[in-house]
Chains A and B, each alone.
Chain A
Amino acid sequence: HVTSPRAVAEWPLTGRITSPTGEGLPGVTVVLKGTTRGTTSGPDGSFTLAAPETAGTLVFSFVGYQTQERKFSGPEKFAIKMVDDAKSLDDVVVVGYGTQKRADVTGAIASFDAKKLEERPIARVDQALVGQLAGVQVKQTSGVPGRAFSIQVRGAGSISAGNEPLYVIDGFPLETAAANGGGRFSSGNPLDNINPNDIENIEVLKDAAAAAIYGSRAANGVVLITTKRGRTGKAIISINSFAGISKAAKQLDLLNGDEWAAKATEIINNNWVKSGTGRTASQTTAERQRILGLTGNAVNPDLILDDRWALPGHPGLTYIDWQKELFRSALSQNYQVSASGATDNVNYYVSGNYTNQDGIAIGLGYKRYSARANVEVKASDKLKFGLTLTPTFSIATDAGIEGKDSRLHQILSETPIAEDSAGINTAYGKNEAYRWGVSTASPISVIKAYQGDTRTFRTLGTVFAELQPVLGLRLRSTLNFDNSDVTSKSYQPPTRNLATSLASGSYSAFRRQTFVNENTATYSKVIGKNDFSALAGFSYNFAKLDNVALAATGGFINNTVTTLNAATNISGTGSNYTTESQSVLLSYFGRLQYAFDGRYLLSASVRRDASSRFGFENQAGIFPALSAGWRISQEAFMLPLTAVSDLKLRASLGYSGNNTIGDYSSIATLGFANYAFGGTAGTQVTGQAPNKVGNSELKWERNRTVDFGVDVGFLKNRITASADYYTKTSQDLLLNVPVLTASGFGTNLVNIGEVQNRGWELEATSRNLEGAFSWTTSFNLSHNQNEVKHLGPGDATIEVPNGLDTPSNILRVGLPIYSIFVVKQTGILTQADIDNKVALFGSETAGDAKYEDANGDGKIDSNDRQVVGNPTPKYTWGVTNTLRYKGFDLSFLIQGQNGGSIYSTLGRAIDRTSVGYKENALGRVRDRWESADNPGNGVKGKATGSFGFIRNTDWLYSSDYYRVRTITVGYDLGLLINKRVAQGARVYVTAENFFGHDKYYGGLNPDAVNTSNTGTFVSGTDYGGLPLSKTLILGLNLTF
């Protein structure tokens, strides 16, 4: 029996697909379910498809709309109206070790649909979450492209063990990392090199009920990231590319050359008059030189002016705007190609991506190459295999722009005047420093001469097998491996053409490896109205970190070889070493979920984590959680209330932990303490001494979260909202309690102390308009209040050392953590004040700052510090609006925060009292006090003040800001392009960070953290952080 393919009879299937507003919708994929047979709709939305003469199902799918299925049992004509892909209650939500119907969720989970990410000029996944989710505070602490963000879920519960959530990508829990006080993840961040274009969606498990299944790593919340998968139907090849320009979103107002010279003249003349009797400001340079006995061109710049400042055109001098020299227009580009598809047996998604972002400052850049393959194979009805492989490579260039004494800080302090002969190369190469200027080698020249980068080669791989031996039971086993190899090289040539100026260089690298094996069994069963589901699992987690570092500061043989084989000297164990550390985590976990009639929901989970990091007396911890929900809207009495389409009450209680202790913290380790014996012929002798106190009881921080929530939907879920109230109590904090140094140590790591975060969150989405013109608004608002409940022994207040001077952040019971504790400035001293004997700081005189004598002892000192603010904002919020009209769409995200403060070390550096004339100053110094008759605006004291400085509200700023994070305008070219060329095409323009306002006039980025406070506290400060980039890009999406 031979048949020709032509002989097969076929049913013609035709129809027209329309948008929710009734217009023909081109480019919709139409597939015969279970086959690769399919087509796409034409310009008017119509389609034709022939199907074999058997009953089947057609699947209609299009990005941005819900996928629909229609059955047929003969030739048929369809009229399909697509529905906007808003979150639906039938959606499946990814939860730890599984999925759950959104309607059945009883924990606090925030979801983020990541599909739009590919249209934004962002290099990282964390960047995408800014302003999107209630209760999830994302801070861009650095302006260096590719650098990790800080993410905090429901406030900071930990004082010293880190507040970063656990990241789980497609079920693979990545090794958690805590930022150091300087905001850096020195041995990698879990989201490094992860390509945001591959992300399908992100869920954040906020309360312990949702997160406790991850036990001792879940205290700071869990971020579940799901990458893209193939969809049934014809293979889709998608190309997305964009290119654009970035610029600094902000610059500081600093004095220009003339303003600086005016201030310098005032200070130098004042110095001169005070330096001896008979000296007056009107004396000329020649007279002053004669009085001082200086000959030739020798000067004492502290006492003698540069006459050229006053000459027209200031001959011989160049006036420089250093910020202008640093910032530039930078190119951003991104190219992503992906292919995806699925049949009954195979589901695949493969992609390749190239991203290149130049920094807004010279000396910064980030390039990333990444690829992904997600493949699942169904070997039989009962057995499934899968493989995920993600090789990535990135090159990040940073010539040391941010942080204390780094280039940006120097740029802001740099004297805006240089000799003509040197210009912006002042104090560099053959050029001496400008005599009246700072001696810093030109930061611009230093940046340009710097060579080096950080190269990250990271591969994530997962293999899994899933067996379904009987209906409802699924056994799954996964092997996951994450390998990062990161190498950093730097080379800084000599800054001066002097024998005394030497090149320096370094090479460092680390390898982070995580291996995770997880085995789970899931069983689901429906008996009548009872819906059961149970999970049991075992997990083995091994993590290892290897470090290597080499450095040389003693010069190189010449400037052409920049690797350390050409260094003159690389000896010394302080900066040259290799180290290794590793940890093991063994876990058992289980969960029971029960739903009765879709109305009463109950979930209980427990996890036992045993970790090598914990002291041997407390090696394992148990983390239980319980949650319940009541879907009131399903009750009979609610049925008449048709306006309310969904109403659910949720309550949960759970325990989770924070194990970011460090690998060997419970053990009294030895540190090297070397010495030399032998006099002139001395040699190094190795010494070893205990470098910390051992603590065999050391364990995880324990978090108890109570959460009450309500989910509500109105008008067939046209308006949906969720509200949550929570109390998160973090106990047994890992605290480096200051101990008497008579014990030989300054601190001792113990589990003590308690911090509570209380707050509420509101998320709402409303489809305001539907029809030809559609408008959707999503809104989130969160409030968090943080309070230290207990501290070390006796609840003694801890003053957080900053390594510079008087501590300005304190930990005190009853206050938010790291509350700002400084002297309050109340204005400017008048002579009357001094005559009235107001409290003074040191040798203050009229025109200097006036401070509040908080303790009333008649003098100003560190005992007058008071609480003036706290670094955590009270409210954070974000609003996204999406509008569509015909082929056009517009969406924009505005986000902001209110009620927090910044205490900026950068402000201290550039805006403190008694600062010398050499350094530049903020523009607000223009309105300074100059005399009793010319007192300025009453904010800035006199430039000639020399009484020193004390930590005070001078450099306290509000951290309030709002920012239009992104605006995207897109146009669907589908109407214009022949389907045979491309199935879909879209052009878009995105503006990132174009508008906004903040109150941080002493720095460039209110979220910046780049310089550590000392000690073991994870608190940091801004000491010269870059501004955000504002970027304008033009992009094109093509689908084939």
Chain B
Amino acid sequence: CEKELIQTPISNGSVPDFYKTAADFDQAMTAVYSQLRGYPDREVILSELRSDNIYGISDIGSRDWDPINNFAASLLPINPYVADAWASDFSTIFRANTLLDQLATNGGVTGSLRTRYEGEAKFIRAFMYLDLVRKFGKVPVIDKALIPQDVAQIPRSEVTKVYDLIISDLQTAIANLPTTYTAANVGRPTQYAAKGMLALVYLTRSGPTYGINGPGLASKEYDKALPLLNDVINSAKFSVLPSYPNVFSYTNEDNAEVVFDIQYIANGSIGGSFVNVVIPDAYYTLSGIPFAAGSVGIKPCSTDLITNAYATTDTRKAFTIQPGYTYAGITETRSFYKKYLNPTGRGVSRTDWPINYIVMRYADILMMKAECILNGAGGTPADAAALLTPMRTRAAQPALTTLDVNSLLAERRREFAGENLRWYDLMRSGRVLDVMNAWVLTDDVNGKITRPITPNLLLYPVPQVELSSAPGLYDQNPGY
């Protein structure tokens, strides 16, 4: 009878029996990617909604995203989106750390696959730490799978220490990852994705500090970013597609413009839900979609984006933005993003969209290179302007002959509207406070934003739940 006291789970695997075979490691690697699936939804709220691209007015009562949109600092430490961003990023990091630890100690997988797994895990770990440092500034640096008691001994590290790990991880990724994947492996990061990501890291570090412990170090590392971007460009693996809609086509995923994306398929369980976040229910019905959007109301594009950003001839606007609609006698006059929406491509529920989420595309690589040039990494404004020509041409816009930081920012806003890059672009440009405060004056017709946007509001607070879990270990960001 006593033997029966040892019971192992029937319907779950358990850690002691895992990380033995190559198949185990394959599954452990997949689990790291799996945790990325919630990333785009958070970016819509914490990046795009925070920026001047969306002016979100909650239709029904008050919603959790209100303080993100209206900069009410007092509500943010307990905000679920903020808490989820911190927790989910670290959960992904934990999975990557677990895999890296097991790769180092168990012989279940060897050779080139082992090398690649290390590169993939480190790429994702760096990607998550970049997200953390951009949102929260200082965060604890954890590069091993630790039990909770040990994690409770690790305080927030200086931003430079976080970057040290990010850069070292991406350098390993560049060394370890292949240049392309075939068939069933498409979607994993290539060494070019790692180079693009590392270039973005250098650009982010190069941004101004605003006097806060933020992502910007004013480090002027444009010269470090430029060769990485040139490598990507010179690889000839990527190109700007002739058709803008085709970049986001449900039937053309992982096309030549995609440098790195998060993958979804519609099968009822691993589809994406970020498509829903900004779209009102009635528009779903109008489009013949048989389920509610569950967006809890519309999150409309800001007047500034709709009226000022695009030339009337710019074909990107009509693809990106839906200008209101009338359904059942009720007219919705506000506009919203529909870039990723293709009603006929839906899965079985509102959280089951098959469209991949593009984290970085080739247009971004070209524009980041332009950014390097404009910031003194070599080349002329005309060289920088020329890099934008493929994107402008396909948007039916004339090529530019010259370029400055402001016009690059404006072009990025048009090109990447709805792709959740705007907030980071503004931060990096040094113009975020000017742009946002000017925008509040013109766009905040409901008077929701009751105070000026100050440097402290450029970072999110450390979630209250983290502060409470280990009192005294983490300091709160100033202003919260």
Checking B33, B75, B86 against A861 with a beta-carbon cut-off of 8 angstroms, the contacting residue is: B75
Given A744-B90, A797-B468, A916-B59, check contact A687 B27 (CB 8 Å): yes
Checking B98, B253, B288 against A500 with a beta-carbon cut-off of 8 angstroms, the contacting residue is: B288
A454 at interface, CB cutoff 8 A: no
In whole Å, how far is B79's beta carbon from the nearest beta carbon of chain A? 9
CB–CB B356/A679 < 8 A: yes
Given A439-B281, A501-B290, A916-B59, check contact A669 B12 (CB 8 Å): yes
Checking A738, A742, A949 against B151 with a beta-carbon cut-off of 8 angstroms, the contacting residue is: A742
A611 to B6, CA, bound (A): 9
CB–CB A502/B290 < 8 A: yes
CB–CB B2/A586 < 8 A: yes
CB–CB A679/B28 < 8 A: no
CB–CB B15/A670 < 8 A: yes
The 5 A-B pairs at the shortest CB distance, nearest first, are namely A744-B94, A572-B268, A948-B62, A687-B30, A679-B254
CB–CB B264/A676 < 8 A: yes
Interface residue tally for chain B (C-beta within 8 Å): 105
Checking A299, A688, A799, A805 against B64 with a beta-carbon cut-off of 8 angstroms, the contacting residue is: A805
A681 to B331, CA, bound (A): 39
CB–CB B34/A673 < 8 A: yes
A582 to B87, CA, bound (A): 32
CB–CB A586/B187 < 8 A: no
CB–CB B328/A688 < 8 A: no
Q: Give 19 new A-B contacts, CB below 8 A, not counting A676-B264, A690-B15, A948-B61.
A: A298-B331, A433-B328, A498-B290, A500-B290, A542-B4, A612-B6, A676-B187, A683-B265, A685-B30, A687-B34, A688-B31, A693-B148, A739-B151, A741-B465, A742-B142, A743-B94, A744-B95, A805-B64, A949-B61
In whole Å, how far is A595's beta carbon from the nearest beta carbon of chain B? 35
User: Which residues of A lie under 8 Å from residue B147 when comparing CB positions?
Assistant: 693, 743
B329 at interface, CB cutoff 8 A: yes
CB–CB A677/B34 < 8 A: no
CB–CB A843/B285 < 8 A: no
In the complex formed, the residue of B with least CB distance to A842 is B72
B18 at interface, CB cutoff 8 A: yes
A677 to B91, CA, bound (A): 21
Chain A interface size band reads 35 or more
Checking A573, A578, A586, A686 against B27 with a beta-carbon cut-off of 8 angstroms, the contacting residue is: A686
- Chain-B contact segment, one of A154-162, A227-235, A379-387, A660-668: A660-668
Q: Which of B269-314 contact A (CB under 8 A)?
A: 269-270, 281-282, 284-285, 288-291
Given A687-B30, A690-B15, A739-B151, check contact A679 B263 (CB 8 Å): yes
Q: Which of B18-73 contact A (CB under 8 A)?
A: 18, 24, 26-37, 59-62, 64, 66, 72
A663 to B5, CA, bound (A): 11
A681 to B265, CA, bound (A): 9
CB–CB A574/B268 < 8 A: yes
A857 to B27, CA, bound (A): 52
CB–CB B152/A739 < 8 A: yes
In the complex formed, the residue of A with least CB distance to B292 is A439
In whole Å, how far is A303's beta carbon from the nearest beta carbon of chain B? 10
Given A678-B186, A914-B62, check contact A572 B7 (CB 8 Å): no
A836 at interface, CB cutoff 8 A: no
Given A300-B331, A670-B18, check contact A740 B469 (CB 8 Å): yes
Q: Which of B128-147 contact A (CB under 8 A)?
A: 139-140, 142, 145-147
In whole Å, how far is B81's beta carbon from the nearest beta carbon of chain A? 12
A675 to B268, CA, bound (A): 12
CB–CB B349/A793 < 8 A: no
Checking A433, A578, A670 against B12 with a beta-carbon cut-off of 8 angstroms, the contacting residue is: A670
A799-819 vs B, Cβ < 8 Å mask (1 yes, 0 no):
101000111000000000000
CB–CB B6/A676 < 8 A: no
In the complex formed, the residue of B with least CB distance to A691 is B12
Checking A684, A690, A741, A798 against B98 with a beta-carbon cut-off of 8 angstroms, the contacting residue is: A690
Given A612-B5, A669-B9, A741-B91, check contact A689 B470 (CB 8 Å): no
A294 at interface, CB cutoff 8 A: yes
A571 to B348, CA, bound (A): 9
Checking A569, A745, A805, A859 against B348 with a beta-carbon cut-off of 8 angstroms, the contacting residue is: A569
In whole Å, how far is A621's beta carbon from the nearest beta carbon of chain B? 12
CB–CB B27/A675 < 8 A: no
A694 to B12, CA, bound (A): 13
In whole Å, how far is B469's beta carbon from the nearest beta carbon of chain A? 5
A298 to B329, CA, bound (A): 5
In the complex formed, the residue of B with least CB distance to A547 is B11
In the complex formed, the residue of B with least CB distance to A681 is B183
In whole Å, how far is A361's beta carbon from the nearest beta carbon of chain B? 25
In whole Å, how far is B166's beta carbon from the nearest beta carbon of chain A? 16
User: Which residues of A lie under 8 Å from residue B28 when comparing CB positions?
Assistant: 687-689
A80 at interface, CB cutoff 8 A: no
B14 at interface, CB cutoff 8 A: yes
User: Which residues of B lie under 8 Å from residue A554 when comparing CB positions?
Assistant: 268, 348-349
Q: Which of A283-331 contact B (CB under 8 A)?
A: 292, 294, 297-301
Given A501-B290, A687-B34, check contact A806 B78 (CB 8 Å): yes
User: Which residues of B lie under 8 Å from residue A560 when comparing CB positions?
Assistant: none
Q: Which of A725-773 contact B (CB under 8 A)?
A: 738-746, 748
Checking A292, A571, A612, A678 against B187 with a beta-carbon cut-off of 8 angstroms, the contacting residue is: A678
A581 to B14, CA, bound (A): 14
In whole Å, how far is A152's beta carbon from the nearest beta carbon of chain B? 28
Checking B145, B186, B471 against A794 with a beta-carbon cut-off of 8 angstroms, the contacting residue is: B471
User: Which residues of A lie under 8 Å from residue B5 when comparing CB positions?
Assistant: 584, 586, 610-612, 619
Given A678-B187, A843-B447, A948-B61, check contact A572 B9 (CB 8 Å): no
User: Which residues of A lie under 8 Å from residue B184 when comparing CB positions?
Assistant: 677-678, 683, 685
User: Which residues of B lie under 8 Å from residue A573 when comparing CB positions?
Assistant: 269
User: Which residues of B lie under 8 Å from residue A684 when comparing CB positions?
Assistant: 265, 267, 269-270
A554 to B289, CA, bound (A): 11
Checking B6, B60, B91 against A744 with a beta-carbon cut-off of 8 angstroms, the contacting residue is: B91
User: Which residues of A lie under 8 Å from residue B391 when comparing CB positions?
Assistant: none
In the complex formed, the residue of B with least CB distance to A914 is B61
A694 to B37, CA, bound (A): 25
In whole Å, how far is B292's beta carbon from the nearest beta carbon of chain A? 9
In whole Å, how far is B67's beta carbon from the nearest beta carbon of chain A? 9
User: Which residues of A lie under 8 Å from residue B94 when comparing CB positions?
Assistant: 743-745
User: Which residues of B lie under 8 Å from residue A555 when comparing CB positions?
Assistant: 290
User: Which residues of A lie under 8 Å from residue B14 when comparing CB positions?
Assistant: 664, 667-670, 694
B8 at interface, CB cutoff 8 A: yes
A294 to B66, CA, bound (A): 29
CB–CB B330/A663 < 8 A: no
In the complex formed, the residue of A with least CB distance to B98 is A690
In whole Å, how far is A645's beta carbon from the nearest beta carbon of chain B? 49
CB–CB B31/A843 < 8 A: no
Q: Which of A515-569 contact B (CB under 8 A)?
A: 540, 542, 553-555, 569
User: Which residues of B lie under 8 Å from residue A578 when comparing CB positions?
Assistant: 11
User: Which residues of B lie under 8 Å from residue A301 when comparing CB positions?
Assistant: 330
Q: List 29 A-B contacts (CB under 8 A).
A: A299-B330, A432-B329, A498-B290, A500-B291, A501-B290, A571-B267, A575-B268, A581-B10, A610-B2, A668-B14, A669-B13, A671-B12, A673-B31, A673-B34, A675-B36, A676-B270, A677-B33, A678-B184, A679-B254, A682-B253, A682-B265, A685-B184, A687-B29, A688-B24, A688-B28, A689-B34, A743-B148, A948-B61, A948-B66
A680 at interface, CB cutoff 8 A: yes
- Report which residue of A579, A677, A796 has the largest number of chain B beta carbons within 10 angstroms of its beta carbon: A677
User: Which residues of B lie under 8 Å from residue A976 when comparing CB positions?
Assistant: none
A1000 to B101, CA, bound (A): 55
CB–CB B7/A583 < 8 A: yes
A777 at interface, CB cutoff 8 A: no
In the complex formed, the residue of B with least CB distance to A296 is B329
B246 at interface, CB cutoff 8 A: no
CB–CB B330/A743 < 8 A: no
CB–CB B183/A678 < 8 A: yes
Given A668-B15, A806-B78, A949-B62, check contact A572 B267 (CB 8 Å): yes
B242-254 vs A, Cβ < 8 Å mask (1 yes, 0 no):
0000000011111
